[in-house]
Chains A and B, each alone.
Chain A
């Protein structure tokens, strides 16, 4: 009985963790013609390292601006700048960490 409760709680925790990224990032990007991974590689092209890249994404999501966007001008002219995130500092960090883990290049090259 206890095992079932622990397992249920663990699964719920995992889903909750995944949810921050899935429900707040993926959900919104699904409606766009450019898949979410493309943004990741555009950030990678400029910021290279994990720390710089995460800071840049968090900074942009908190304070979206033409100047700090990594997307091409034509894209920005057409789709515009996104709205400022409503996520808390912790939730935003969780979402960006999940994003990094999902698309990072380390251990993927063959």
Chain B
């Protein structure tokens, strides 16, 4: 999130996951805090409204008790219960048995002042129990105005607080991630500077070795030249990997139809001298030729990394088979293999499971990035001690 697409600095998948987890947790906590405060505010507003209405209810209650008193005095003459258009009432005896009610709704006596079913209730106990009425309930309708206003305020202030907390979270995230970003930037800058300085001498070495007429050299010198050739190609590969890694996002793609058979033959030939160091048998098997529309440099880089890994992690006198078939190619080696638990993590940048063979742990990360760019499927199957097969299909 903080590293833009075009930026040199790029976060790992795991780091992004950490960022998303932090953000999710932060947002969840913010929502919980806002909800708790909203709940408390709502409760306070409700109490405030009830206290405001209490005076009115007490006035009505007093009026009703006077009417009830009159009825009590004249009960032998009339039994008509006092009613009002402004409020409803109900009377209960000391055993909480309903004596009479002007409403059919269920009433509670466990609270003095409460809001239920959009009606405000006041439970009053008169000084004398006229007609046996120990508990008198007076209720009026709630206009709901306070509820609308409270909801509006909660939405407004809750929303503003949420946005503010989101902004604070963003600032905090930037502050907490600064050391990590600086470290990655420093590493990227170092690689960028180093690769830039390596470019010219490595190109000179490779091109000059190619220009040497090897037929005129004796065996001793030829062997030395071959070693220099292998060394120069290894450095050249590392240089290209690092260049792609650092400038990958800034590199423009020149897509074209790539003849995979031809590409495989070229790259196998290029890596033959490297494979000879470990006395590896490297062969290509073309079942059906196939075409891939992509940037040739990048697909070449993908294949180079697969071949380079197959050489690097192979046994002495091992075997490498490159197979080309319809819309797929694969590189299979007879190397050390990868533990099944590690296969899911192997595409991560700087991840290495065998530190005895050198390298930066960027090979399969590059493969993964290129595959992602061209929607290629990478399938890695491996058995420890037997070998690894990496298939690329599209």
Which residues of chain A have a CB within 8 Å of any CB of chain B?
A: 37, 41, 44-53, 105-106, 108-110
Instruction: Report the bound CA distance from A108 to B79 in whole Å.
Output: 7
Residues of A within 8 A of B97 (CB): 49-50, 106
Q: Is B134 an interface residue (CB 8 A)?
A: yes
Q: How far does the Cβ of B77 sit from chain A's closest Cβ, in whole Å?
A: 12
Asked whether A49 lies within 8 Å of B132 as measured between CB atoms, the reply is: yes
Residues of B within 8 A of A46 (CB): 128-129
Q: How far does the Cβ of A65 sit from chain B's closest Cβ, in whole Å?
A: 21
How many B residues face the partner with a CB closer than 8 A?
A: 19
Per-residue CB proximity of B128-157 to A under 8 Å, as 1/0? 111111100000000000000000000000
Residues of B within 8 A of A44 (CB): 72, 129, 131-132
For residue B135, which residue of chain A has the nearest CB?
A48
Residues of A within 8 A of B95 (CB): 48-51
Q: Is B394 an interface residue (CB 8 A)?
A: no
Instruction: Report the bound CA distance from A48 to B76 in whole Å.
Output: 18
Instruction: Report the bound CA distance from A56 to B76 in whole Å.
Output: 23
- In the assembled complex, 5 residue pairs joining A and B whose CB atoms fall closer than 8 Å, in A order, are A46-B129, A48-B133, A50-B93, A50-B95, A105-B99
Residues of A within 8 A of B134 (CB): 48-49
Instruction: Report the bound CA distance from A45 to B134 in whole Å.
Output: 9
Q: Is B80 an interface residue (CB 8 A)?
A: yes
Instruction: Report the bound CA distance from A52 to B93 in whole Å.
Output: 10
Residues of B within 8 A of A45 (CB): 72, 128-130
Q: How far does the Cβ of A103 sit from chain B's closest Cβ, in whole Å?
A: 9
Q: Is B26 an interface residue (CB 8 A)?
A: no
Residues of B within 8 A of A49 (CB): 93-95, 97, 132, 134
Instruction: Report the bound CA distance from A5 to B131 in whole Å.
Output: 42
Which of A37, A47, A53, A105 makes the CB contact (< 8 A) with B131?
A105
Not counting A49-B93, A50-B95, a sample of 18 additional A-B residue pairs whose C-beta atoms are within 8 angstroms of each other reads: A41-B131, A44-B131, A45-B72, A45-B129, A45-B130, A46-B129, A47-B94, A47-B132, A48-B93, A48-B94, A48-B132, A48-B133, A105-B100, A105-B132, A106-B99, A109-B80, A109-B81, A109-B99
A110-B80 CB under 8 A given contacts A48-B133, A49-B97, A105-B131: yes
Asked whether B79 lies within 8 Å of A109 as measured between CB atoms, the reply is: yes
| A-B residue pairs, 8 tightest by C-beta | A49-B94, A48-B94, A48-B129, A49-B95, A48-B134, A109-B100, A44-B132, A49-B93
Q: Is B75 an interface residue (CB 8 A)?
A: yes
Instruction: Report the bound CA distance from A52 to B129 in whole Å.
Output: 13
Residues of B within 8 A of A109 (CB): 79-81, 99-100, 131
Instruction: Report the bound CA distance from A54 to B93 in whole Å.
Output: 14
Which of A37, A41, A52, A110 makes the CB contact (< 8 A) with B94?
A52
Asked whether B75 lies within 8 Å of A41 as measured between CB atoms, the reply is: yes
Residues of B within 8 A of A105 (CB): 75, 99-100, 131-132
Q: How far does the Cβ of A41 sit from chain B's closest Cβ, in whole Å?
A: 6
Instruction: Report the bound CA distance from A37 to B99 in whole Å.
Output: 18
Q: How far does the Cβ of B182 sit from chain A's closest Cβ, in whole Å?
A: 80
Asked whether B81 lies within 8 Å of A41 as measured between CB atoms, the reply is: no
Instruction: Report the bound CA distance from A81 to B133 in whole Å.
Output: 28
Instruction: Report the bound CA distance from A59 to B196 in whole Å.
Output: 112
Residues of B96-111 at the interface with A, using a CB-CB cut-off of 8 Å, are 97, 99-100
For residue B101, which residue of chain A has the nearest CB?
A109
Instruction: Report the bound CA distance from A45 to B72 in whole Å.
Output: 9
Q: Which of B76, B131, B132, B134 has the most CB of A within 10 A?
A: B132
Instruction: Report the bound CA distance from A48 to B129 in whole Å.
Output: 6
Residues of A within 8 A of B99 (CB): 105-106, 109
Residues of B within 8 A of A53 (CB): 132
Instruction: Report the bound CA distance from A51 to B131 in whole Å.
Output: 15
Residues of B within 8 A of A41 (CB): 72, 75, 131
Q: Which of A44, A48, A49, A108 has the most CB of B within 10 A?
A: A48
Q: Which of B79, B81, B130, B131 has the most CB of A within 10 A?
A: B131
